Structure 1
Amino acid sequence: MRKRKERPAFQKVNRKKQGKNDQGRPYYELSITYLDGANIFGPGGKDRAYEDIQRAAELWEVDFVIKEIIDGSGRNNSFRLKPGFSKKDLVCGASFGRNQALLSLLKTLTHKGRSPNHIIHIIYTGFASFADGETAGCAFPLQMSRWGNSYHFILLTNSAGTASNRSLCAHELGHTFYRTARFQRNIDPTTLIYPFRRPDVHSHLEDNVMYPVPGSNSSLLKSQKEKAWQSSLLIKES
């Protein structure tokens, strides 16, 4: 598979509010893949992944390093990376691990489970939505081998790349952060302030990035960011 040539494969995406001691700040590593038919430009007219990651960096107050970009969208004279699965196969949940076509793609992206498993794989599909006609993105962990550690993936559809869905990638990254926070359950910290409600993976605050339908929400509380900073995937330079 060929990587895009317009931009270096190794690129650090920093949040805009930078202090004097930016060098050595913790960061997450990402792998970006565009499948056949995926929109490669965001609502701002720039590279879609860059727009998504820049927004996530600002909202969560973390940095990201894009380790590789694979453009199989078929756009701008790039090659076509056929997904091998259809829209009806996209049901967010445990069924992903039973879909052989999707599993084959994920094994290819992780080099059959031999690549570092701290890298978060963001995959842009060419579908308008998931099978239910509403879901636009999903974050999920998956083991690539029987005894191996879990890898972390995010699947996004074309409807996730619109002006009304600017925060969806940041939302799905939030689920990955929560799931990998050390010694903590996969719950949103804002749900713990309601004594008569069960803890939930989504925030109950309607303007919050972790609300079930985040749209272009931009609110994150300190407790949410602190949980993201405790993820085992976060790389801390010595």
Structure 2
Amino acid sequence: MKKAVGFDQKIMLHHLDFTANAARTTEIKEMYEKLHTCLAADIYGEMSRKHAITMLMKIWVRVDEEHKEIQKQALKLFPTLTSKERILLHYGMTLLAYPFFKDVVTEIGVLSRIQDQVPSSQIYRRIKAMYGDRRRVEVAVSAVLTSLRFWGVIDSRKTGIEPALPKLEVTSPMLKRWLVQVIVKAAGQKVMPLDLIREQPMLFPFHYWIEMADLSKEQFEVNRQGLDMIVVGLRSGKVYEKYVL
């Protein structure tokens, strides 16, 4: 059975900003109308515009039930953050919405650790090995790479792809807690070693470091296994309001 792709159109950063901001106060039906008006200036084709709206809604509004709490936290954080910090929210919500996106950025992260520039052909080849040698897969990889370039997290050169420098710093304690939840969910795990959380290749555009002190007991279960392994799990039914500015 072929794996679903889904992410097959570039997404612009200002469209994500508009969607996240509007989603805080707008009903779902009205969201479609607002997005249609917003995107009309940039995407002239009706079918392309409808598809972009579907993707934006999947990222920020029509999220899977298991990601509702993460979405709720992100929408509350959004107006308190800088434009740079908001990129992390968009990136994290896209990781959760589109496993294809996660697979592409993971490959970039893995390869960029061992070489300064990652040839695009290497990314295409690795993703085709996972999803099949289909034209749709090529289009989707191109859409992810173009989106990442629009978001300012990669530089595209004739010789390959480079993570943009400097990396985006994640220093806010609230953003760190939110990010840990995204990492565990995107990885499809219930618990993860803290060392793996700290060294996720799918988060290659960001510089972050998680300490045990960053993980609140209300949101996380933190246990020590053996002499030097710390394992982090997510508690269910958290009350997040106490952490919102």
TM-score, structure 2 normalization: 0.28
Structure with more of its chain in helix, by fraction:
2
Max radius of gyration: which structure?
Answer: 2
Looking at secondary structure, tell me which structure has more strand per residue.
Answer: 1
